Amino acid sequence: MKEQITTDPGKTRSAIAWAAMVILSASAPAQEAIWGGPELVSPQIHEDRTVTFLLDAPGAGEVLISGEWMPPEGFVPGSAGMQKNEKGTWTHTTGVLEPELYGYFFTVDGLRVSDPLNPFQFRDIATLSNIFIIPGPPADLYRVQDVPHGTVSKRWYDSPGLGMERRLTIYTPPGYETSGESYPVLYLLHGAGGDEEAWPTKGRVPQIMDNLIASGEAVPMIVVMPNGNVIQDAAPGEGSDGFYKPRFMVPQTMDGTFEETFTDIMQFVENSYRVIPDKGDRAVAGLSMGGFHALHISRYYPETFDYIGLFSAALVPGFNSDSPVYRDVDVTLKRQMDNGYRLYWIGIGKEDFLYKNNMQYMEKLDSMGMPYESVESEGGHIWKNWRSYLTQFVPQLFK
Amino acid sequence: MKEQITTDPGKTRSAIAWAAMVILSASAPAQEAIWGGPELVSPQIHEDRTVTFLLDAPGAGEVLISGEWMPPEGFVPGSAGMQKNEKGTWTHTTGVLEPELYGYFFTVDGLRVSDPLNPFQFRDIATLSNIFIIPGPPADLYRVQDVPHGTVSKRWYDSPGLGMERRLTIYTPPGYETSGESYPVLYLLHGAGGDEEAWPTKGRVPQIMDNLIASGEAVPMIVVMPNGNVIQDAAPGEGSDGFYKPRFMVPQTMDGTFEETFTDIMQFVENSYRVIPDKGDRAVAGLSMGGFHALHISRYYPETFDYIGLFSAALVPGFNSDSPVYRDVDVTLKRQMDNGYRLYWIGIGKEDFLYKNNMQYMEKLDSMGMPYESVESEGGHIWKNWRSYLTQFVPQLFK
């Protein structure tokens, strides 16, 4: 053993000894994975912003690729056939893609599969999609850049209103730990089927915030991403329910309970972090169901939020007519208007199934004389829009 | 629009309105995913600790399941054929499994695929495996239990030695934020091909620590899980290199640089957290390459660590004979022994390809009269052993 842990005369001999040990104990496929050789890479992002995908499946009869750059079919991305080459590898090369973060998956003889060559995936409810980024604006905001980075924590807080400890994600800006300063807070809410993992992963919140703060476009702020499903203590797989198949609609969705117990989250944050606890330094925003939550939270708690963001908001009736949260909506909206706020921001895609609802809501605000800003984007109920709305909303906060 | 956001007379009508909107805009597969119907579940963990897997692939000619409960073939889990039923769904039911966290995947006509019904996966280098847990001891330590939970943060620190900001994972115990107390620190190091995501995911560190602290078996402590690949600022996908295919061996592996710059990590932790900065309150442990790092860090920095853990340690020569870290090993080991420590713990599996090296190392320690404790377990170079070693090591710390 002495020879093995004392200095070896050459780097090469040591490396070979280690390599030999690993190879001797590894099977052929593992050797290949570990030691390289002719290795496929997918996706291959080319300089001209086209992308080539490879799938080594000689036995397959038909392989499709579905990707977010193709026109969607309902909630599912459009698809294209892949071509089989003489080695049994299926390939597809896209046209020129706009800079963006894209999700995709393959369908092999009817079976949905991930790209086995790409370990990067995001979960959306119960399904996983591979991801890649085409660089360039605005997608550079979604990439990790060489800028100061905030801290992302998974922390549990006590919710007396729900009778449980619950998990949330919290982003504190670069320098938070040492500055001694207090910060404004953005509460950022997910959609139905999401949880406290949604915004920090597919929403790219840590990257967006780091980059907007570094460029000076956004002021340093804390971003709180709670779990809006009141029956869960944490995201699927992260809580006391263990590993189970997540579902789109869980019990007690949009029944008023999340809004009623939202003070538990705010009190936890304001007691646990250096925040500026006033209306001018609080924002609440959310996507889809989270936009619905943001609407109701901002009017149900008067004089609490100066900034409100509705991203493709699910502007439908609450599911529980007995909840005090959904009573007197017009009266409380009027009160919210009279109390004043700095920004009421609405983003909606022209192809969103909630487009009409959002238009009707804006007409209602118009008729009340309630001020708001709105952005109408291309596309539908998709993460591309929510990331974009966030990058448009955040620079307007706390200035 | 007034009707849509003011109170609706019944829950049912509201829910139906929302459902209708979603369904109208969703394609058939999305509807099925969202609205249930006859839905397959995989894996199905039965009361008798057998497990059934399902894969709906009518077009496939052969489907295998590979799982960590089957004897491995080198580094790859053993496999079994699945049976096709009349509906084209492939099934397999295991025998009775011991309580444990297991990884698995399918192979469909030669193509490795994940279980599309199970969104929970861990990444190991560049491949993903699905996971599930059979409850019972010791696996209950790997589950989220109804106990106080620590905080898990991804934080960036400055490494002057490497000239970059780098990302690490840090676990602070329940109550850290409010107790005002100072805590001991365990530095926990990953293996080759791993990064700061390895121990907190497949290693189940947050769950193990929460559970051991709650039962009183472990004292509250901070666990620091840095990235041991000095060319990376962060795990693949989390750093400035973006999304790329991770590899087993990266440049500058085990060349002394990680050990030399380890003081950057310690200084960051001791300046940034309430820790007890003395030898009696510091531990360093690691798996495989991390065990190699723990060995060298603990002898290279004299009078720094009272607790050392080598888990299936890669006891091979360093790859850079010029590094001061790998010089005078025998002299510095003797000095480490003379300075004294509380625990030098070695765990190794009987079937590990590093078994012989570990035996030789223990003979060397015996010949020096250097005290240690050792555990010889079944199995090889596997996460089952590393989780188990951690649960055996941690209760012995800081008492």
Q: What's the pLDDT tens digit per position in A287-332?
A: 999 999 999 999 999 899 999 999 999 999 888 888 999 999 999 9
The per-residue pLDDT of chain B, averaged, comes to: 91
Q: What are phi and psi of A153, to 5 degrees?
A: -120, 145
At B38 the pLDDT is 54
Q: Are strands B83-84 and A63-67 parallel, antiparallel or unpaired?
A: unpaired
Q: How far is B325 from chain A (nearest CA, A)?
A: 9
* Percentage of chain A modeled with pLDDT above 90: 84
Topology adopted by domain B146-396? Rossmann fold (3.40.50)
Compute and round to an integer the Cα radius of gyration of chain B.
24
CB B112 within 8 A of CB A57: no
Contact B353 A133 (CB under 8 A): no
At A26 the pLDDT is 46
CATH architecture of residue range(s) A141-396 = 3-Layer(aba) Sandwich (3.40)
Average pLDDT over residues A155-180: 98
Q: Work out the pLDDT band at B20, boundaries 50, 70, 90.
A: low
Chain B, 74 to 133: residues with Cβ < 8 Å from chain A are 74-76, 108-114, 116-121, 123, 125-128, 131-133
pLDDT one-digit tens code per residue, B170-187: 999 999 999 999 999 999
Task: Indicate whether B103 pLDDT > 50.
Answer: yes
**Structural tokens at position A44:** 């291959």
What CATH number labels A44-136? 2.60.40.10
Among A133, A146, A204, A217, residue whose Cα is nearest residue A171: A204
Q: Which helix (H) or strand (E) holds B32?
A: helix B28-35
**Structural tokens at position A51:** 């992308």
Chain B, 311 to 370: residues with Cβ < 8 Å from chain A are 314-321, 326-327, 329-330, 353-354, 357, 360-361, 363-364
pLDDT one-digit tens code per residue, B34-74: 444 457 899 999 999 999 999 999 989 999 999 999 998 87
Average pLDDT over residues A14-41: 52
ipTM: 0.92
Q: Would you list the domain boundaries of chain B? A: 2-35, 44-136, 146-396
Decide if A140 touches B, using CB distance below 8 A: no
SS3 B129: strand
Compute and round to an integer the Cα radius of gyration of chain A.
24
pLDDT one-digit tens code per residue, A238-251: 999 999 999 888 89
Average pLDDT over residues B84-112: 96
The span from the CA of A328 to the CA of B6, in Å, is 7
Average pLDDT over residues B360-373: 98
The span from the CA of A44 to the CA of A289, in Å, is 35
At B337 the pLDDT is 98
pLDDT one-digit tens code per residue, B240-264: 999 999 988 889 999 999 999 999 9
At A218 the pLDDT is 98
Give the contacts of B215 (CB within 8 A, at least 6 positions apart): none
Inter-CA distances, A176 with A60, A180, A220, A277, B271, Å: 53, 7, 9, 16, 14
pLDDT one-digit tens code per residue, A363-395: 999 999 999 999 999 999 999 999 999 999 999
**Structural tokens at position A329:** 């909506």
B chain contacts of residue A299, beta-carbon cutoff 8 Å = none
Q: Which tops the pLDDT comparison, B352 or A2?
A: B352
**B193, B248, B321: residue with CB nearest A10:** B321
Do B44-136 and B146-396 have matching folds?
A: no
Average pLDDT over residues A115-141: 95
Among A110, A83, A292, residue whose Cα is nearest residue B4: A292
Q: How far is A306 from chain B (nearest CA, A)?
A: 21
Contact A126 B109 (CB under 8 A): no
The greatest distance separating any two alpha carbons of chain B, rounded to the nearest whole angstrom, comes to: 85
* Percentage of chain B modeled with pLDDT above 90: 84
